[in-house]
Structure 1
Amino acid sequence: MNLAQRLSHLPREARDTLFLLAVVACCVAPLAAYLPLWTSALTAALLGWRGWLAVGARALPGRWVIGALLAAAVALTLLSHRTIVGRDAGVTLIVVLLALKTLELRARRDAMVVFFLGFFTLLANFFFSQSLPTAAALLVALLGLLTALVNAHMPVGRPPLAASMRTAARMALLGAPIMVALFLLFPRMAPLWGVPDDARSGRSGLSGEMSIGSMASLVLDDSVALRVRFDTPGGAPPPQSSLYFRGPVLTAFNGRDWYALSQPEARGITWAYPTPANLQMQGESVRYEVTLEPSRRPWLLTLDAVQERPELPQGTGAMMSPELLWSASRPISSVLRYRAESHLRFTHGPTRRTSLLNGYVELPAEMNPRTLALAEQMQADPAIAARVAASGAQAYIDAALARLRTGGYTYTLEPGVYGEHTADEFWFDRKEGFCEHIASAFVVLMRALHVPSRIVTGYQGGQMNDIDGYWTVRQSDAHAWAEVWLEGRGWVRVDPTGAVSPGRIGQFQRLQAPRGVLGTAMDAVVNPSLVRRLRSVWEAVNNGWNQWVLNYTQGRQLDLLKSLGLQSPSWQDLVRLLGLLAALAAATGAGWTLWERSRQDPWQRLLLQARQRLARAGLPLPPHLPPRTMAARARAELGAPAEAAAQWLLRVEQARYAPEPRALLADLQRELRRLPWPTAQNPRPSAP
């Protein structure tokens, strides 16, 4: 006997319990990645135990056992979260309580509690993730919960689950218009709208510090960092060689790690004051819209450089640092969409040497001695000295870039582990590295030459999705470049990686992580171009979810009202429109009810009214009785007061089968209203 046959032979109670346990497992499964490991293990054990009890028709555990398990769960929650309040601890307890409640599943009342806890658990999933896969999984779980709820209200026989599922699906479809209307029109009161996200819910790959070798690992992460839609015709962006999305600027250096001036590690530096922005725009601007994935950091990634504040959702502030980095007023914990206008040609920073620039030439003592010696050799070289006299520090930059182009240096993901003197190892020993190795060694050399310089991290490049026209920037596009201060020009971008690997800048030739055996085998089975096409389709769908669902803000609500003809809409207009739709829905429901009533046989409706009158007199009758039998029962049990009603019932039966029944129907309806029906005070007991 196979599994399906064994399940079909189970009693209904056991079968319904197993189905409900499976639905509960679907509700809590998406939370496994966010809750402590013991929570998932305990929940799975409790659900498995309850299923074993149901299959074997065994007795449920006593209250002492359940109480001990509850106490253990509370203790483990305190141990894991240091509290039993808050989002994480609260969801942990809800999941365990849901599993424990299944051990008390004896009556329909207990099932109702499980249903409502299940619905709450579904909502709790969105505290951690609001992605499209999560929504799809929870939609399946919701259909399962509705099916179990419908099935629980079918107390007779063994109704098939397919019939309950059809009813549940019909209920969900009927409720879908209401759900859509509430989503579109229910006022969003920023910043109260939304739910907090966990620190694990987002990552940007960038931070306020950079360890030599750490950024190379980001190429293994092919997830989306941001999406960009340009406002130019066709969505065409500037040349890829100009697509530098600015992130944290790193200035303080301890020999191996670079820090932004805002980092605690850099605050002990006495010169930790950035130079004034002095931003001057040149040329035409580029307007675009950014959809930024959650990072739990406040940085707003924009193309170099943005002078005006980006257009952010209502309730979100932003400010620009002297290093041209825009930051939001709070960490970005959910998908954020904003518009910005950049000028790719600009100047910034002081144009004359000031004391504020002295910190940008500082290096840790006794670090990278060979790089310092290389700087002395360059300063002593007559050819370079002549060019310096003619063009200033630009000659040092040209000499360093020429060394990178012709010195046998390579761009690689696997340069090995660097030691204490990272710049020395790059310039003289390994001669290979990722963008942070190259940028760091270049900046150390520039500082050794007394040229103010710093590192800028961010993203470079992007790739257009042919499906939706958005440009996708991935974590693997994370990049580090240098900024060098030049007399009369201010801070100037220099990307030394382009000297080592020109294809990295502007041609989208990224280093790829080594493919494993499985990846190589899959390439032989599945066409890689098909995989890329499917990936583009999925990312376009996911982007649509981000744009139209997760990023449906109050501003977009008001734009919807404008498209409906309102000139200056407000949230009060949203409430009015929502109320109007509610009234229309109520009127539609009332009309549907009247239409359904009109479809009923008027003779059956007439007999229903008669049964209701007799029931109020103390004589309930089943609906299958014909009028003649109803009249006989009324005479026998209610006596003389029911004689007029009995005569009327006999006339109903005679008229129903007359040649023209409809001609007599109206008269019988009028008689029904005028008849002296018996009351409950004068019934006569029926004869034994």
Structure 2
Amino acid sequence: MFSRLTSLPREARDTLFLLGVIAWTIAPQVGNLPLWCSAMAAGILLWRGWIAVRNQPLPSRWWLMVLLVLATAGTAFTYKTIMGRDAGVTFIVVLLALKTLEMRARRDAFVIFFLGFFTLLSNFFFSQSLLTAACMLVALLGLLTALVNAHMPVGRPPLMQAAKTAGWMALLGAPIMAVLFVLFPRIAPLWGLPGDAMSGRSGLSASMQVGTIASLALDDSIAMRVRFDGPPPLQPDLYFRGPVLSSFDGREWRPLRSNLPARYQLQPEVQVLGAPVKYQVTLAANNRPWLLVLDATPTKPEVVGYTPTMTPDLQWLSDRPIADLVRYSATSYPQFRHGPQRLAVGLQDYLDLPAGFNPRTKQLATDMRSSPALARADTPALVNAVMERLRTGGYEYTLEPGVYGTHTADEFWFDRKLGFCEHIASSFVLLMRALDVPARIVTGYQGGQVNSVDGFWTVRQSDAHAWAEVWVAGQGWVRVDPTSAVSPARTGSFTRLQAPQNVFTQALNTVSPGFAINLRAMWEAANNRWNQWVLNYSQAKQLDLLRNLGFETPSWEDLSYVLIAIIVAVSLLAAAWTLWERHRQDPWLRLLHQAAARLHQAGLAVTPNTPPRQMAALLQAQADTDNAGTAEVHRWLLQLEAWRYSAAPHATLGTLQREFRRLRWPERLSAS
């Protein structure tokens, strides 16, 4: 097969190579494109490859028009528009594939090259990971190779020769790219578009239906990375606070929308205890405004480009969705109190129960209150009683509890006794409310795992968690994690329920589990470095760089001055290198080329490589040698040859150079 490909005509070989590069450029986008677009692009590329191998004629323009209309209609039907990021990328991929069907001349190939470069860049609209960057670097070298090869129209140059030239071009451009990356003013988000904020991504939600967080446990992607300045908190204290859900309609939990006037609504009233924990968070883009921090963080997180505000329920929100990788610093206190210490009007919102739902749970609360042991029990005693029921009642923690019906709490407490963290937290809060205890659900992430390579703590989507808060007189809101009563390992160690693994992961873990863990740690550490030093290279880091260079209060103007100074310095170095190259060139050859240029300009049929004696003979044959100026040029050419080849030349090279400038070179020669 390989020998057959190498024996193909050059046009077919070059076409197949270009089609392969295009396929490689499009491949990472398949997960972001509609199925019809991927199928159409693949079909067109295969069709074009068959045409190249079989040396068949290209299809008529009618075929192209039909396919273009279908692509436009498909894009409009899928996205309800042909504008925007997703629709635009879909359309450009189809256009790139269609353009290969009318590649008749070099001009068409150049259009394909530049469409390919644009498609390459569009990959970063969806992912800026290290893997995506590596794939696009290969695609860039492939497109450059095809571009260089297109500028070699004669013969059959090997593709390796074009690839070497492309590699040198990339290497020569790398310093310029590095300088522009470091100093060119950053506009954040670099790869975000206004419409991106409307598209959801995997992660926590602003609402919770029983069973939704379990789906996140199947997602092993990274939600954030954390680096602690000192010793990290204990595993049971690693609660990263997200949306607080207090309103339940029988099916879905949502944030509280209180009808009380602002003066009666609850305030955070945070009181911190113990030593603080300082850390930095690198938060993955989630298109949500939440800044996830440890409980509790009374001071504003330091995040460049965003304005954080704290809600009354202790959650930090940014002024706009997190559409790009964000890094921020925070100071938290694992030991804290918050909320009112005494009964307040706003607490009644946390006692609401929807009518007509979970009657058996309400009856359970009535029975518990009727028992002598709990008739006059305070909130801590009621919490302990419910937690003891969870510990001893045969309840299980699972990713596959089945589909719950209308009365979710009733089914959990009396029928299934199976659930993930949100089943348990929801049922616990509903029972506590039925017991006349204000309670609410807090969602976020719990736990994490330290990377042994770089020391960062990795928090994954599979660490998504839901727990409860109950109000206790004299203490305020108190965290209660009912999942810990059912499965203590979930919050007390690194144990997690594992999602089903693919065949490759299962085989790797079977052969060498330790190797798989170390390989993953190294890859995630490399990705983290990429995130910290490349994706998270912000305006603040640029200004910090100028500050280290001696600027007291750096600004964008200073950044521009430094960039201009570097450009001027590089230009001067290039000019000096050019002069050095000219000086290093053989001065005799340079003098010969100058003489040939003067004679060629006068009409003499000479080239830069014509020997001086031959120039003199041609000059004598076609010019009037009686002319004193022509005779001097004739004599000078013979002396030039003598300096090069004679053992004892009569004139020095310096003398010849000075005479060259004084000679009267003929302006126009006529045949004798």
Q: TM-score, normalised by structure 2?
A: 0.94
- The CA deviation string for residues 376-421 of structure 1, in whole angstroms up to 9 with x for no partner, is 12212222235x2xxx221111111122222222222222222222
* Residues 297 and 332 in structure 1, CA contact (< 8 A), matched pair in contact too: yes
- Partner SS for 1:458: strand
* Residues 397 and 419 in structure 2, CA contact (< 8 A), matched pair in contact too: yes
* Residues 245 and 303 in structure 1, CA contact (< 8 A), matched pair in contact too: yes
* Residues 127 and 197 in structure 1, CA contact (< 8 A), matched pair in contact too: no
**Corresponding letter in the other structure for 1:414:** E
Q: Distance in 2 between matches of 1:177 and 1:94?
A: 30
* Residues 201 and 294 in structure 1, CA contact (< 8 A), matched pair in contact too: no
Task: Give the paired residue count.
Answer: 668
Kindly state the Cα deviation for residue 55 of structure 1 after the two structures are TM-superposed: 2.6
1:247 corresponds to = 242
**Corresponding letter in the other structure for 2:156:** R
1:83 corresponds to = 81
Kindly state the Cα deviation for residue 191 of structure 1 after the two structures are TM-superposed: 6.3
* Residues 127 and 196 in structure 1, CA contact (< 8 A), matched pair in contact too: no
2:387 corresponds to = 401
Kindly state the Cα deviation for residue 135 of structure 1 after the two structures are TM-superposed: 0.9
* Residues 347 and 490 in structure 1, CA contact (< 8 A), matched pair in contact too: yes
Q: Distance in 2 between matches of 1:271 and 1:482?
A: 26
1:384 corresponds to = 374
* Residues 85 and 195 in structure 2, CA contact (< 8 A), matched pair in contact too: no
Kindly state the Cα deviation for residue 30 of structure 1 after the two structures are TM-superposed: 2.2
Q: Distance in 2 between matches of 1:538 and 1:663?
A: 70
Matches within 5 A, 1:301-320: 301-314=292-305, 316-320=306-310
Residues 1:522 and 1:255: Cα distance change in structure 2 (over 3 Å): same
**Corresponding letter in the other structure for 2:635:** Q
Kindly state the Cα deviation for residue 322 of structure 1 after the two structures are TM-superposed: 0.7
- The CA deviation string for residues 222-263 of structure 1, in whole angstroms up to 9 with x for no partner, is 11111111111xxx211111111001111111233212226x
- Partner SS for 2:360: helix
Q: Name which of structure 1's ranges 588-597 and 530-539 shifts more when overlaid on structure 2.
A: 588-597
2:145 corresponds to = 147
659, 665, 668: which is aligned to 1:671? 659
* Residues 188 and 554 in structure 1, CA contact (< 8 A), matched pair in contact too: yes
447, 456, 459: which is aligned to 1:473? 459
* Residues 467 and 537 in structure 1, CA contact (< 8 A), matched pair in contact too: yes
Kindly state the Cα deviation for residue 531 of structure 1 after the two structures are TM-superposed: 0.3
Residues 1:530 and 1:154: Cα distance change in structure 2 (over 3 Å): same
538, 541, 544: which is aligned to 2:526? 541
- The CA deviation string for residues 306-365 of structure 1, in whole angstroms up to 9 with x for no partner, is 112211113x22211111111111111111111111122222222222232112111122
- Partner SS for 2:593: helix
1:179 corresponds to = 177
Give the unaligned 5+ runs of structure 2: none
Mapped pair 1:353 → 2:343: yes
Residues 1:662 and 1:227: Cα distance change in structure 2 (over 3 Å): farther
1:30 corresponds to = 28
Mapped pair 1:364 → 2:354: yes
Q: Name which of structure 1's ranges 321-330 and 403-412 shifts more when overlaid on structure 2.
A: 403-412
* Residues 197 and 334 in structure 1, CA contact (< 8 A), matched pair in contact too: no
Q: Distance in 2 between matches of 1:417 and 1:89?
A: 36
| Fraction of identical pairs, as percent | 60
Mapped pair 1:54 → 2:52: yes
Kindly state the Cα deviation for residue 52 of structure 1 after the two structures are TM-superposed: 2.5
Q: Name which of structure 1's ranges 503-512 and 10-19 shifts more when overlaid on structure 2.
A: 10-19
Residues 1:84 and 1:620: Cα distance change in structure 2 (over 3 Å): farther
Q: Distance in 1 between matches of 2:199 and 2:520?
A: 22
1:609 corresponds to = 594
2:542 corresponds to = 557
Q: Distance in 2 between matches of 1:363 and 1:498?
A: 25
* Residues 14 and 54 in structure 1, CA contact (< 8 A), matched pair in contact too: yes
- Partner SS for 1:384: coil
- Partner SS for 1:258: strand
**Corresponding letter in the other structure for 2:640:** V
Q: Distance in 2 between matches of 1:287 and 1:141?
A: 42
2:637 corresponds to = 649
Q: Distance in 2 between matches of 1:335 and 1:126?
A: 13
Kindly state the Cα deviation for residue 644 of structure 1 after the two structures are TM-superposed: 3.4
- Partner SS for 1:288: strand
- Partner SS for 2:467: strand
Q: Distance in 1 between matches of 2:634 and 2:98?
A: 59
2:433 corresponds to = 447
Q: Distance in 1 between matches of 2:12 and 2:148?
A: 17
Kindly state the Cα deviation for residue 491 of structure 1 after the two structures are TM-superposed: 1.0
* Residues 448 and 494 in structure 2, CA contact (< 8 A), matched pair in contact too: yes
Mapped pair 1:282 → 2:277: no
Kindly state the Cα deviation for residue 301 of structure 1 after the two structures are TM-superposed: 0.6
Q: Distance in 2 between matches of 1:674 and 1:485?
A: 103
- The CA deviation string for residues 140-160 of structure 1, in whole angstroms up to 9 with x for no partner, is 111111111111222222111
Q: Distance in 2 between matches of 1:620 and 1:51?
A: 49
- Partner SS for 2:276: strand
2:469 corresponds to = 483
Matches within 5 A, 1:77-226: 77-190=75-188, 195=193, 198=196, 203-226=201-224
Residues 1:618 and 1:53: Cα distance change in structure 2 (over 3 Å): farther
Kindly state the Cα deviation for residue 204 of structure 1 after the two structures are TM-superposed: 4.5
Kindly state the Cα deviation for residue 470 of structure 1 after the two structures are TM-superposed: 0.7
* Residues 202 and 333 in structure 1, CA contact (< 8 A), matched pair in contact too: no
2:331 corresponds to = 341
Q: Name which of structure 1's ranges 449-458 and 30-39 shifts more when overlaid on structure 2.
A: 30-39
**Corresponding letter in the other structure for 2:268:** A
- Partner SS for 2:125: coil
**Corresponding letter in the other structure for 2:551:** L
* Residues 141 and 167 in structure 2, CA contact (< 8 A), matched pair in contact too: yes
**Corresponding letter in the other structure for 2:526:** V
Residues 1:552 and 1:646: Cα distance change in structure 2 (over 3 Å): same
Residues 1:446 and 1:564: Cα distance change in structure 2 (over 3 Å): same
Residues 1:93 and 1:491: Cα distance change in structure 2 (over 3 Å): same
Give the unaligned 5+ runs of structure 1: none
* Residues 223 and 283 in structure 2, CA contact (< 8 A), matched pair in contact too: yes
Q: TM-score, normalised by structure 1?
A: 0.92
Q: Distance in 1 between matches of 2:114 and 2:631?
A: 52
Q: Distance in 2 between matches of 1:635 and 1:153?
A: 42
- The CA deviation string for residues 456-476 of structure 1, in whole angstroms up to 9 with x for no partner, is 011111111111111111111
Q: Name which of structure 1's ranges 438-447 and 564-573 shifts more when overlaid on structure 2.
A: 564-573
1:575 corresponds to = 560
- The CA deviation string for residues 439-466 of structure 1, in whole angstroms up to 9 with x for no partner, is 1111111111110001101111111111
- The CA deviation string for residues 115-140 of structure 1, in whole angstroms up to 9 with x for no partner, is 22222222222222211111111101
Q: Distance in 2 between matches of 1:94 and 1:349?
A: 54
* Residues 210 and 259 in structure 1, CA contact (< 8 A), matched pair in contact too: yes
- Partner SS for 2:403: coil
Kindly state the Cα deviation for residue 635 of structure 1 after the two structures are TM-superposed: 3.1
* Residues 368 and 423 in structure 1, CA contact (< 8 A), matched pair in contact too: yes
**Corresponding letter in the other structure for 1:577:** V
Kindly state the Cα deviation for residue 199 of structure 1 after the two structures are TM-superposed: 6.5
Kindly state the Cα deviation for residue 561 of structure 1 after the two structures are TM-superposed: 1.4
531, 542, 549: which is aligned to 2:516? 531
Q: Name which of structure 1's ranges 281-290 and 441-450 shifts more when overlaid on structure 2.
A: 281-290
Mapped pair 1:505 → 2:485: no
Mapped pair 1:230 → 2:232: no
Residues 1:586 and 1:34: Cα distance change in structure 2 (over 3 Å): same
Q: Distance in 2 between matches of 1:185 and 1:662?
A: 58
Q: Distance in 2 between matches of 1:168 and 1:518?
A: 35
1:4 corresponds to = 2
Instruction: Tell me the C-alpha RMSD between the 2 structures.
Output: 2.4
Q: Name which of structure 1's ranges 475-484 and 600-609 shifts more when overlaid on structure 2.
A: 600-609
- The CA deviation string for residues 625-671 of structure 1, in whole angstroms up to 9 with x for no partner, is 22222222333345546543333222111110123669721111111
Q: Name which of structure 1's ranges 324-333 and 497-506 shifts more when overlaid on structure 2.
A: 497-506
* Residues 196 and 333 in structure 1, CA contact (< 8 A), matched pair in contact too: no
**Corresponding letter in the other structure for 1:576:** Y
